[in-house]
Copies of this chain bind each other. A is one copy, B any other.
């Protein structure tokens, strides 16, 4: 029964909302003078996750991929609404899903205030999250200037290496696969780093579709180009064993699902960015620079351009 289901697993006290789950709408009081950042993502079985994927991890990922979009704007998470379409009710499964979801939302002070539950043949989750930010402070994709540094947080390509292994596109030792699989299943949204980059970064995006594709959005929106140094891109130590494989290079440059931040900033912000990242315990790496001519080139150790035939995940590719 829909209402029991919602009450049992997804209704909790919402001290930060006027009215939580259970009425026609949720009601919240936005902080006067702040802007509201809104983002939404659908996760669908068979496309974004597999039937055998565990529920707590799915709950974690549902929250993480959306919080990552707030991170890329520098916004502070406040509220969320959840849509669930599921073939049948399974109490233990939903309890674990809710546990994973709430753990990630709670870690970022984000309250679940409403949603919609329905029956459907394909398990589908949709989360919409709401964050707040001071007017004029949001990190958009359009602010990069020629000569800015290009940065990324964390490690790039781990999630895509794990996916390539899982899908049989990349041979990998199991002990290595086990080290990158967490990046695919339990991504860490860089919410605090995003907030710390307000006033320092000129543009930001989260790496969900692939490093080149996502950086490409910044470049297009900002009207600049960029040169990257492949060797400067931070990858998991196990990745070095596979860099002779085109599938591994592709995972790093064009794989998605890392949910790290890619951002640009003027060179004079280097010290401040490194200090901010260090205080948060998050690794940040400079991987190249923007230029005033369009295009994106990634050079290998010999200074040669790496072919970027497939630079990102196209949701509607054949």
Contact = CB atoms under 8 A, between A and B. Distances in A.
Contacts of A36: 27-30, 36
Contacts of A122: 120-122
A26 B32 contact: no
Nearest to A318: B88
A120 B47 contact: yes
A138 interface: yes
B83 A25 contact: no
A241 interface: no
A124 B25 contact: no
A70 B121 contact: no
Contacts of A316: 1-2, 5, 88-89, 119
Nearest to A133: B27
Q: Interface residue tally of chain A, by bracket? A: 35 or more
A163 B229 CA distance: 61
Given A36-B30, A38-B114, A124-B85, A69 B25 contact: yes
Interface in A111-136: 113-122, 124, 126, 128, 130-131, 133, 135
B315 A117 contact: yes
B140 A19 contact: yes
A56 to B, nearest CB: 22
Contact of A18 (B18, B35, B70): B35
Given A39-B114, A116-B41, A119-B316, A25 B126 contact: no
A32 B32 contact: yes
A160 interface: no
A24 B116 contact: no
A314 interface: yes
A172 interface: no
A53 interface: no
Interface in A57-76: 69-70, 72-73, 75
A37 B79 CA distance: 12
Contacts of A83: 40-42, 83, 126
B113 A24 contact: no
Nearest to A72: B24
Nearest to A113: B38
B39 A24 contact: yes
Of A37, A40, A46, which is in contact with the most chain B CB atoms at under 10 Å from its CB?
A40
The 3 closest A-B pairs by CB, nearest first: A32-B32, A24-B72, A25-B37
Interface of A: 1-2, 5, 18-19, 22-30, 32-42, 44, 46-48, 69-70, 72-73, 75, 79, 81, 83, 85, 88-89, 113-122, 124, 126, 128, 130-131, 133, 135, 138, 140-142, 204-206, 221, 314-316
11 contacts: A22-B221, A24-B70, A24-B206, A25-B131, A26-B38, A27-B133, A28-B38, A38-B79, A40-B126, A88-B316, A119-B315
